[in-house]
Amino acid sequence: MCGVSASLAVAASVGARKGEIAASVTLVVIAAIIMVFFLPFVSHWLALPAGVGGAWIGSSEFADAAGYAAASVFGQMSGNETASIRAFTMNKVIGRDIWIGVWSLFWAFVALRYWEGGKGRSIDPGELWRRFPKFVIGFFIATAIVSLYFGDAITPGQTADFLRPMGALRSIVFTLCFLAIGLTTRFSEFESVNWRAAIAFASGAIVNVIAGYLLSAQVFYGYWSKF
């Protein structure tokens, strides 16, 4: 799960048009690419501990794959890749990704209640369920199985060997997903998107990076620096 997944999930929840979905995904990918270069080197320049830098990356990066790469690069720079990736995972996956289902339901409710059919429209629970991103359920099930069962049954060294095939499968699926997005994206469709939305996204991204730094490197510095 990442920013692209969130864009697709929320888009389905509110009934967004194809051009709007393409624009949202493109903005997320561009921001993710920028953050891959920006966050590791700035964290290194600020001499942040591995855990603190990893936490900042986890709170600021938009895509899981890009964030993992950024955390790995910074971890190698700081001399503790494990701590950087661990802090990134806790902040990004546990702290942010699991909320996509909640936000999708929230925006689906807002769309049905106020945007589609006028204010005060009654809500059909079946329609809410239809718009709910079902992959979130699979995410929770997979996380629970690996954490509760295999976490106790496999030693730390064996865990990496066990998860490696799934990591390879994930890479293949992500590659096919982004390839499909690229093949179906038409930049001409961006003309239907208000540029104020792009400015709002960029502003939100900047605020997110600043807030992530303050929380990771200032407020909770003592916690993340122990990783």
Return the DSSP state at 189: G
Alpha-carbon span 154 to 59, nearest angstrom: 29
CA distances from 34 to 39, 88, 166, 206, 227 (A): 8, 17, 27, 12, 26
Residue with tokens 């079946």, as numbered in its chain: 126
The pLDDT tens digits for 10-31 are 888 887 777 777 778 778 878 8
Alpha helices in the chain (DSSP H): 3-14, 18-45, 50-60, 64-78, 81-89, 100-110, 125-131, 135-144, 151-153, 156-184, 195-214, 221-224
pLDDT at 78 over 80: yes
Provide the whole-model pTM: 0.75
As a whole number, mean pLDDT of residues 201-226 equals: 89
- How many CB atoms within 10 Å of residue 32? 22
Predicted confidence at residue 147, as pLDDT, reads 62
Please say whether the beta carbons of 73 and 56 come within 8 A: no
**pLDDT higher at 114 or 58:** 58
Predicted confidence at residue 155, as pLDDT, reads 47
**pLDDT higher at 156 or 98:** 98
CA distances from 13 to 9, 23, 105, 114, 130 (A): 6, 16, 7, 13, 9
Q: Which band of pLDDT confidence, cut at 50, 70 and 90, is reported for residue 191?
A: low
**pLDDT higher at 5 or 148:** 5
Residue with tokens 């702290």, as numbered in its chain: 95
As a whole number, mean pLDDT of residues 122-147 equals: 75
Backbone angles phi, psi at 134, to 5 degrees: -65, -25
Please give the share of the chain, as a percent, with pLDDT higher than 90.
11
